[in-house]
Amino acid sequence: MKEHIFQLSSLDHAAERVYLRCCFCFSTTNEESDFDKISAHLTATVKRTIAHMPILAGVVRPSQAQGQAGRTEVMVKREQVNGFKPMIKILSHGEFPHTYKDLEVAGMSPAILFNDKLTPLPNLSAAESSPAFGIQANFVSGGLLVALSLHQAVADIVGFQTIITHLSSNLPTYYITDDDIHDMAVDQSRLRDRLSGSRGAKVEASAVKNTSDEGLHAVESAICGRMFAFNTKLIDGVAALVNERLLIIRKDASTTVHSSNVLFAILWKGIVRARRRASQAPAPSLAAESAVLLPVNVRKAIDPALDEGYMGNATLEIAVNHSTVNLMMPFDVGTLGAAALAIHTGIQGVNEQHIRSVIAGINAGADLADLGKKNANDAAAMKIADWSGLNVAEKGHLGLGLGKPGWVRKIGREMTADGCTVHAVKEDEGLWEVMVEIEEDVMGVLLKDDGFMAFVAHVA
């Protein structure tokens, strides 16, 4: 059986070696005929998608070529492409003692959805060889939970949207050949190579200046996850007031702080305050700074620009630093505005020179596997992942004939201290959902922070 190799970019190699895990939740009947029809629809749409994106049928493994330690590649065989299909399970009450109605009443709580029954793959990839992609349909009483797992060496969250769009499109069916896969592998490898060169840029020093101590804990605490639904009107209102202050006080009409900047600032302030209080940290010095790691899509920041449908990793994780004293102060327009402006400035400051310097640092690394672990365990106070661009309203039906999903959730087999995952805005409800995964003691303090909770409509 012929092997086809998809070469990965420097940004792919440096990605944390875990799976992006997302669950689409649909209401259904309990009719057996519906199970059969939905299963047939899903199998057909998955097979069509894999034929158009054969890299998803492959395995991520250590690179067989000589060179930098820790490099990976995706190996694909035609037999893997033709044989790929979703896992389909009808879960008994003993396996999953929750009806879809129960899940809705609980707000699709992470406490229920994070278990080892619903996902096709574990949270972490194996060091030797791991599937690039997996999909599992779980029928429960009154509903369907479709869990997708994507290896982060293959694509970022924007690339994940491309997969969802393909699954939800009526793609033509065709029989793929070895020549087809070879041509796709060559094209993909060349495209990804555009994010492998430093173009003479020098390695920059780490931008993380976490000189505060809110990451310290007196006792070890288990990880827990809660889903916070933020009131979009309140967040939009704060953004408007911040921009008004910029115009009046700073005479700055060129800078527009976005609602997303304000939401990130609320999360940043809330978790820094909660961590310091949970660890009983002393008052910070005036010079102390806390850092937050934020994702920035750089597809349009390089020349020539990459298409938004580019499948690989083109999201940089940047560090934004801000005064710990300011973050510890009460929630008001002034303190939120300062944090939101720092976030906005950090994101806007990403240019091709910075991108190439990051790539230079990756290319200079002794072992890329260790670099991925370092990125995941940086000294930053917190990390934010941005899934708000997932177009689930129009492109989330997955070709199942069930309409758009009622809920979309991050999912997994166990909780990890991933920080915050910002989901798409629910425009019809005026809610912006964020999953927060932090230590139990920190979560307890966060839930009692009246300033933070004033922006929250409900918690699941």
Q: What is the mean pLDDT of residues 201-219?
A: 59
How far is Cα 198 from Cα 52, in angstroms, rounded to an integer? 31
Residues 188 and 275 in one domain: no
Task: Give the model's pLDDT for residue 327.
Answer: 97
Q: What is the mean pLDDT of residues 39-67?
A: 94
> In the predicted model, is pLDDT for residue 208 greater than 70?
no
Residues 39 and 139 in one domain: yes
Instruction: Pick 284 or 209 by higher pLDDT.
Output: 284
Q: What is the mean pLDDT of residues 62-77?
A: 88
Q: Does residue 204 lie within any of the structural domains?
A: no
For residue 288, what is the domain's CATH number? Answer: 3.30.559.10
How would you classify the pairing of strands 133-140 and 87-90? Answer: parallel
> In the predicted model, is pLDDT for residue 213 greater than 90?
no
What would the pLDDT profile of 243-265 be if each residue is shown by its tens digit? 999 888 777 777 899 999 999 99
What would the pLDDT profile of 268-303 be if each residue is shown by its tens digit? 999 999 999 999 989 999 999 999 999 999 999 999
Residues 331 and 445 in one domain: yes
Q: Does residue 217 lie within any of the structural domains?
A: no
- pLDDT above 90 covers what percent of the chain? 77
Q: Is the peptide bond before 172 cis (omega within 30 degrees of 0)?
A: no
Q: What is the DSSP letter of 250?
A: S
Residues 76 and 137 in one domain: yes
Q: Does residue 316 lie within any of the structural domains?
A: yes
Q: Does residue 92 lie within any of the structural domains?
A: yes
Residues 449 and 308 in one domain: yes
For residue 357, give the nearest of 65, 349, 70 by alpha carbon.
Answer: 349
Q: Does residue 201 lie within any of the structural domains?
A: no
pLDDT confidence band for 205 (50 / 70 / 90): low
Task: Give the model's pLDDT for residue 126.
Answer: 77
Task: Give the model's pLDDT for residue 437.
Answer: 96
Q: Does residue 449 lie within any of the structural domains?
A: yes
- The number of domains in the chain is 2
From 146, 178, 195, give the residue that closes a domain. 195
- What amino acid is encoded at 213 in this protein? D
Residues 111 and 233 in one domain: no
pLDDT confidence band for 124 (50 / 70 / 90): confident
> In the predicted model, is pLDDT for residue 214 greater than 80?
no
> In the predicted model, is pLDDT for residue 6 greater than 80?
yes
Residues 18 and 55 in one domain: yes
Structural domain harbouring 27: 4-195
Residues 235 and 142 in one domain: no
Q: What is the 3-state secondary structure (H, E, C) of 47-77?
A: HHHHHHCHHHHCEEEECCCCCCECCEEEEEC
pLDDT confidence band for 374 (50 / 70 / 90): low
Residues 275 and 383 in one domain: yes
Residues 188 and 309 in one domain: no
Q: Does residue 61 lie within any of the structural domains?
A: yes
Q: Does residue 216 lie within any of the structural domains?
A: no
Q: What is the 3-state secondary structure (H, E, C) of 256-308?
A: CCCHHHHHHHHHHHHHHHHHHHHCCCCCCCCCCEEEEEEEEECCCCCCCCCCC
Residues 266 and 327 in one domain: yes
- Return the SS3 of 432: strand
Which tokens sit at 393?
């309203």
Q: What is the pTM of this model?
A: 0.93
How far is Cα 152 from Cα 312, in angstroms, rounded to an integer? 9
Rounded to 5 degrees, what angle do the CA atoms 337, 341, 342 make? 120
> In the predicted model, is pLDDT for residue 117 greater than 60?
yes
Residues 160 and 271 in one domain: no
> In the predicted model, is pLDDT for residue 22 greater than 50?
yes
Using an 8 Å Cβ cutoff, are 56 and 48 in contact?
no
Find the length of the chain. Answer: 460
